[in-house]
Each structure stands twice: as structure tokens, then as C-alpha cells.
Structure 1
Amino acid sequence: MEQLSVSELCGYINAVLTSDPVVSDVWVFGEVSNCKRHSSGHWYLTLKEADARIDAVIWRSTALRLSYLPQDGMAILGHGKVELYNGRLQLYLDFITPAGEGLLQAQYERLKAQLEAEGLTERKRPLPLFPQRIGIVTSPTGAALQDMLNVLRRRFPLAEVIIAPALVQGEDAAPSIVEALYELFDFEPDVIIVARGGGSIEDLWAFNEEIVARAVFASPVPVVTGVGHETDTTIVDFVADLRAPTPSAAAELVTPDLATLRDELINQVGLLHGLFQGRLQLLRSELNQQQQQLLRHDPQLRLQQGHEHMTIQQQRLQRAMQRMLEMARLKVQVAERSLVALNPERTLARGYAVVLHAGHAITNRNQVAVGETISIQLHHGQIQATIDELRD
């Protein structure tokens, strides 16, 4: 018989525990006692019932994403795994919820929190406007498929529809849905619909399975879910790119309405026609402006305008010269009359005389002296005289 040390025995037991499918993925119901939060952020507690108890731990990283934290005396439903620590069994919890919600609801909330923590619920890709190929994962015999096909034919008959049949209820439904999804990926559709009709939470449970949620997230193209009725929300609804309340609504969301497109096209054609007419009118106006500019810069026109301008200037110059000659003629006439009026001959003709001495007119007696000879200029002739006397 083989002998083991204590550490070897504990290691063996722990290996058995971690490989056991029950205790490595277990849901446990119990009452919380000895609940304490350590300064590190970890939670330590005991789950107990009348004649049994087990120590439990919630790590700080897990506690930060839990929406519900334990308190002494509370009855909870927890999920985790059992391991051996220092020779004692210990339950490591990764999710807890009030016990009254039931196991299915607890599994739902745990998986939802896990996927949210991984970021799988945040990706929301836009749907293609005009999908050429639409993939559908659903039951081939359900009414949901016919409802979706009717909508697709009515709204957008141009699209090719590829149906990947799958079980949508029962134990084999989840792997069947995953297989159908991966088959569709090979056909390279533009968008995928995952759908089924309404039912109870148990009927819809395949769409709450982790493998289905991860297969939806693995899709290379947008996924729209239409599972159950409007009040039903499954895990795949959170992971999908868009959730529709029903299968028919999902078919409407992935397709444009051909009638609406036709009306919109007519409207756009009208708008384009109006824009074209406006642009055409603007171009015509610009063309007229360019033609006017060309006419204004035409050499023949410029020469004609220059000739007209030169003619006008020549006429202005002629008129100006005539005015200048007329003014000069008037000035000459005035000067002539002035000269005539001031002519000394006319004064002499009236009996006046001009007295000259040495060729200069005498206007003052101080200009001459007694005995000097002076000349007296008359109108006719000249008299020479000698000054005998000077008077004041």
C-alpha cells in the first residue's frame, strides 16, 4: 500500500476536486453566517444549513462586479467551485443572488454579469443598408420562419435568404444553434437573424447558454436577435448587435422597405432635378456675364469706343480753342480801345502840348533851369524855346 505525506494527500484530493464536473461548477443554496469583508476587499463567509456548513470566499475582483453582496442571515444561491485549502474544503464563489429567484434566474444573472465583465455586450455594429445576402438561424418548421420570409419578400425581395435550420428547444438546442451559426459564416452573409417564437423561460433557455452567446459574438457580420415575444429577453439579446422584440420585427430591421425606398428615390430625384435646374440657371447667368465681358473687351468695340472718345475730345478741343480765340479777340479789342483812349496824339489834338528836355517829359519845374533849352511838342509840329523864368 502506498504511503502519502499530508501535503501529497491534500494535493491529490484537490486534484480530484478540480477535475470533478460537479464540484468544479456547482450551485449551492445556504444561509450566510460569519460574513466579513477583509481590508484587502475579499469577502469571507460560511454557508450553512441545519446540520452542514462550508467556508466560502469571494475574491475582491468578483465582489466589484456583483450587484448583490452577502449579509449574515441571508439565504443565497451561489455559484463557484470547491477546492482544498490548508486541509479544509473551501467554496470559491464567483456569483451570488437571493435564493428566492430560482436556479435558472441565478444562472441567467451570473452569465450576464460574466459577459458584461468581458465586454461582450458592448459591441454594437451598424446594420448594412442594402443586404444582398441574409442568413437565418431558426427552426425550419416553426411559424417564426414563415413570418420572417413573408416580411423579407414584401420589403426587400432582392436579397438572397439562406436558412440554417437548428433546434431551438431542448437539451440539444444550444449546440445545434452554434453549429448552424458557424455553417452560415461560410456563406458570408451580410447580416444574420437568430430567432424563434415565444415560450416559457425553459423553452427559450437555449438562447441563455454561454456557448450560444459566444458563437453570436464570434460572428463576422452583425447579428439581430428576435427570440420570443417583446417581454422576453435572453442572453443572446445582450451579445447581439441589435435586439428585435419578435422574429418579424427582426426581419423588418435588417431590410429596407422597397416601397419606402421607391418614394424616397422619387423624392431625391425631385430634389436633384431642382438642384440641377438651379445650377443650370446659375451657369446660364454666369455665361451671360462672360459674354458681356467679352463684348466689353472686343477689340473692334474698343477701337470704336476709342474713336468715339477721340472724336468727342477733338470736338471739345475745337470748342475750347474757339472760346480761347474769342476771349483773346475781346482782350485785343479792349486793349485797342484803351490804347486809342490813351493815345497822346488825341490829347495834343485838343490843344495840349508835351514839354521835353533832353528827350524826357517835364512834369516838375525842378527838372529844368533858367537858360536851358526845351522842346514843346504840339499836335502838328514842335517848338524850341529857352527858359527865361521859373515860377511855382
Structure 2
Amino acid sequence: MVNPKIFTVSEVNNYIATIIEEDELLNFIGVEGEVTNWSIWKGNTAFFSLRDESSLLNCVMFGVPPELARDIADGVLVLAIGKIRLYHKRGVHQLYCSEIRILSKVGRLFQLYNELKERLKREGLFDKPKKPLPPYPKRIAVVTSRNGAALQDIIKTLNRRYPLVELRLYHTQVQGDSAKYEIVRALKLADQDDVDLILLARGGGSLEDLWAFNEEMVVRTVYELKHPVVTGVGHEVDFTLVDFVADRRAPTPTGAAELVTPDVSELLKNLDILKQRSLNAMIKRFGEKARHLDSLKKVLMAHHPGRYLQSTLDRLEHQRLRMVSAIKRIVEKREWTLKSHLMTLSTLDPSIRLEDYHKRLQEALKKINDLIIKKVTDMELKLDFLKDKLELVSPEALLQRGYVMVKKGKHLVKSSSQVSVNDEITLKFWDGDVEAVVKDVSDRGTGTGV
């Protein structure tokens, strides 16, 4: 077996960084995506991510112009130009932007999304009790487009997991200006049908593509449905407003199909377990009945005439044995009295008394030895107890109870006066370390901060 070459973490990151820096394509690249997690630090440094339907890319830009910082918000479609570099400390790559071009100010949609979300939340639409999902649904209404990939994903998942269920499709447009009206119509029709639950689904897309599922009329319709509703709209990172009023939310259409149905293979395993349990219960029951029959048999045998005669003979034999035993005890008692007199005479012999004293001395020495051993054992137990108490106040035990050890470089921080704003510190927990940057320093005694 060939042994691999061993590297440190820093050596690996330096090697990857060198590969990235020597790649001409990555030294000047444009990336198009939707802005998310946009934040400005110290007035002109922007930290954000670009996302598409399935991925995220971390980005940073230094010296952001004020007008650009004002115009960009989460949801804006941009073209970011710059170079890919590795952030050594965390071992992640990110785009260092030299220029950002706004392609579409979708940030307005994101603002509308948040405003509508807050208004509906204040009205209490998100606080309604969630309806339970049936464990073994017979009929599921699927509200989605017949032409979308979401429907195919749901069909494949149901055929694999639970082919017993009946799927009823309520076709609707899932994108465009008229989509909200069609979705509302399809939901109401599905709610009138004899189904166990409703599955509202759509594949991934941009904020504009998914906007029909953020429309107020669609959200209120989902809120008013009498059947349980499960949503599977977009991808893992996509949250639409219908997700907050639905009874359950899945990250994808496939996840929604898995959420509403049991796995038939697991059901078969459970059936095998129940079968074995039933068999064991039957065997146990038969065993109890057999023991009961044996008990009845013994009762019948106890009342048999031959049994009574045998019992009488046994009693007579018992009386005979008692008489023999009594005579034997009288003889033994007389023999013991005679021997007792002989032993009394023998005690007058000095050699016998010396032997008795020697025996008593040996017993006293054994008791002293036992006391010494007990004393040593008690001292060892006391030492173990003191050792356990010392371990309770050890630094590792304190960390496991929720305390944190703070270090600045290699030095232990014992006071807030030892750190300043922007200092890099290490928070040592019982199960690992966390790197942090000091944003504020406050004096507990005076209440003032630096």
C-alpha cells in the first residue's frame, strides 16, 4: 500500500491558492448572478454572495462607490468583474470584485416581498395551527404545470416510494402575469375534490420566476384551504410566502413527494417485524395454555383414590422415620454428655490451655491486620473522592459546562482591558475553537464601551 504525501492545512491552502492565481481565466472573470446577503462594512467594503438556481459564490469589493452601495440590494441581478482568490484562513474561494454592473434592479421585488411578508405576519396568517398530514394518503392533489420538470420528479418519487397512492393533477401556469389567477383556481378545485392532501409544487428559478407564489391572493387562498397543504417550490435556498401559510414546507418538489408519503420498503420491513412479533406472541400464548393444562392435570391426579392410599402410606413411613430419629437423638445425647465430661477433665491439662492462648493470639493479630487493610482502603477512597473534586474544577470541566476560554494570539485574555476593537481572538469551547473579531469592548463596572 502506497503511503500518501503528508501536508499541513496551510500547505494545502497555499498550493490551491497558487493554482488559482496562475489560472489566467480566473484572474479576470465576469460572473452574473443575483445578489444576496449584501452588507457594507466600514462604509465602503461590501460583502455579499451571488446565486443562481443551484449555487452560491462569496464575493467582496473594496472601495464601493456610494451610489453603487445605495442601488444594490438583495435580489438585484448584477455582473461582477474581478478575480478569484482563496481566503486562506477559512480555505474558501471568493470573487474579489473590481467592478459591479447592475443588470436588473429586481431589488424592488425583494422589498415588496418583505413588506407583504410583514403585513401578513401582523395579520396572523403565519400563526395558524398546522393541520396534520395523513400517514398513508390514498389520493394526492398536485397543483403544478403538466409541462414542468417538477411533475416528473413527483411522479418518479411516488412510483419509487409509494406506488399505492393515486395522483390527481390540477394543471396551472406557474410563471407569468396570469399564473396567480390559475394557481388560485386550481387550488380551489383541488380543495373541493375527495383527496387527502394538496401538494403545491414548482421547480427552481429566479425571484421573478417564483413571484406568483408570493402573490397575496395565492397566499390567502392557501391559508383558507380545508385540506392539508404541502409546498415544494424552488430549491433549498428559495422561500416563498406560501411556504409560511402551508402546513408543511419541503425544499424541492422531490422533497415534498417524500414528505407526504411513507417509503414502501420501510413499510415492508415494519410488516416483517409485526409478523415476527405476532408469531412470538402466538408461541408465548400456546406455551401458557400448555402450562395451564399441565396444572389441571396435576390437580386431577391429586384427587385420584390411589393417590390417597399412597399419601396414607407416606404418612406412616414418615411417623416410623420420626420414631427412629427420636431414638437415635436420645442415644446421641447420652454420648454427647459423656464426651462433655471427658472434655471438662481434659481442660485441666496445661498444654491444652497454652494451645488455646496461642490460637487467641493469632486471631488478635488477624484482626489488627484486617483493621490496617480497611484503614488503607478508606484512605484510597478518600483520595479518589478528592481527585474527582479536583477534576470538577479543572479547565476542561468548566468548558464542558458552557464556559469559554479567550486567547489573543498565544496569551490568555483575563480582562476586557486586554483586547481592543478589531483584535482577532480565539474562543476555545470544549469541543473546538472559534476565530472571532472584536467589534466592541465594554467595561462592566462603568457601562462605558470603546
Q: Which of the residues 96, 112, 117 maps onto 2:122?
A: 117
Q: Which of the residues 107, 112, 116 maps onto 2:112?
A: 107
For 1:51-70, what aligned pairs fall within 5 Å after superposition? none
2:294 counterpart of 1:288: yes
Residues 100-126 of structure 1, C-alpha deviations (whole Å, 9 max, x = no match): 994322322233223333333232222
2:236 counterpart of 1:244: no
Q: Which of the residues 244, 256, 267 maps onto 1:261?
A: 267
Query: Match of 1:231?
Result: 237
> In the alignment, is the contact (CA less than 8 A) between 2:184 and 2:217 conserved in 1?
yes
Residues 34-78 of structure 1, C-alpha deviations (whole Å, 9 max, x = no match): xxxxxxxxxxxxxxxxxxxxxxxxxxxxxxxxxxxxxxxx99xxx
2:140 counterpart of 1:134: yes
Q: 1:162 is paired with a residue of what secondary structure?
A: strand
Residues 200-248 of structure 1, C-alpha deviations (whole Å, 9 max, x = no match): 1111011111211121122222111010111100011111111111111
Quickly say closer, same or farther: Cα 1:303–1:216, change in 2 above 3 A. same
> Which structure's CA Rg is the greater one?
1
Q: How many residues align?
A: 223
> In the alignment, is the contact (CA less than 8 A) between 2:172 and 2:182 conserved in 1?
yes
Return the letter of the residue paired with 2:286.
L
Quickly say closer, same or farther: Cα 1:301–1:193, change in 2 above 3 A. farther
Aligned equivalents of 2:206, 2:318: Cα separation in 1: 106
Query: Match of 1:272?
Result: 278
Aligned equivalents of 2:210, 2:227: Cα separation in 1: 24
Return the letter of the residue paired with 1:295.
L
For 1:301-320, what aligned pairs fall within 5 Å after superposition? 303-304=308-309, 307-308=312-313
> In the alignment, is the contact (CA less than 8 A) between 1:295 and 1:301 conserved in 2?
no
Quickly say closer, same or farther: Cα 1:112–1:301, change in 2 above 3 A. farther
Superposition deviation, residue 302 in structure 1: 5.8
Aligned equivalents of 1:310, 1:259: Cα separation in 2: 68
Aligned equivalents of 1:172, 1:129: Cα separation in 2: 35
Quickly say closer, same or farther: Cα 1:284–1:111, change in 2 above 3 A. farther
Aligned equivalents of 2:228, 2:157: Cα separation in 1: 19
Return the letter of the residue paired with 1:107.
L
Q: Which of the residues 166, 170, 176 maps onto 2:172?
A: 166
Query: Match of 1:145?
Result: 151
Quickly say closer, same or farther: Cα 1:281–1:170, change in 2 above 3 A. same
Query: Match of 1:193?
Result: 199
Q: 2:135 is paired with a residue of what secondary structure?
A: coil
Quickly say closer, same or farther: Cα 1:286–1:109, change in 2 above 3 A. farther
Superposition deviation, residue 132 in structure 1: 0.4
Aligned equivalents of 2:177, 2:106: Cα separation in 1: 22
Aligned equivalents of 1:101, 1:303: Cα separation in 2: 104
Superposition deviation, residue 169 in structure 1: 0.8
Query: Match of 1:41?
Result: none
Quickly say closer, same or farther: Cα 1:120–1:280, change in 2 above 3 A. farther
User: Unpaired runs of 5+ in structure 2?
Assistant: 1-69, 72-104, 328-450
> In the alignment, is the contact (CA less than 8 A) between 2:179 and 2:212 conserved in 1?
yes
Choose between structure 1 and 2 for higher RCO, CA contacts under 8 A separated by at least 6 residues: 1
Q: Which of the residues 178, 182, 185 maps onto 1:176?
A: 182
Quickly say closer, same or farther: Cα 1:297–1:206, change in 2 above 3 A. same
Return the letter of the residue paired with 2:236.
E
Q: How large is the RMSD of aligned CA atoms in angstroms?
A: 3.1
Superposition deviation, residue 185 in structure 1: 1.4
Under a length normalisation based on structure 1, what TM-score does the superposition of the two structures give? 0.51
Superposition deviation, residue 129 in structure 1: 1.2
Quickly say closer, same or farther: Cα 1:101–1:197, change in 2 above 3 A. closer
Quickly say closer, same or farther: Cα 1:103–1:314, change in 2 above 3 A. closer
Under a length normalisation based on structure 2, what TM-score does the superposition of the two structures give? 0.45
Quickly say closer, same or farther: Cα 1:195–1:303, change in 2 above 3 A. same
Aligned equivalents of 2:171, 2:130: Cα separation in 1: 25
Superposition deviation, residue 166 in structure 1: 0.9
Residues 163-206 of structure 1, C-alpha deviations (whole Å, 9 max, x = no match): 01111111111121111011011212111110011111111011
Return the letter of the residue paired with 1:187.
D
Residues 232-275 of structure 1, C-alpha deviations (whole Å, 9 max, x = no match): 00011111111111111111111111122112212221233233
Aligned equivalents of 1:118, 1:238: Cα separation in 2: 13
Superposition deviation, residue 138 in structure 1: 0.3
> In the alignment, is the contact (CA less than 8 A) between 2:197 and 2:229 conserved in 1?
yes
Query: Match of 1:381?
Result: none
For 1:66-105, what aligned pairs fall within 5 Å after superposition? 102-105=107-110
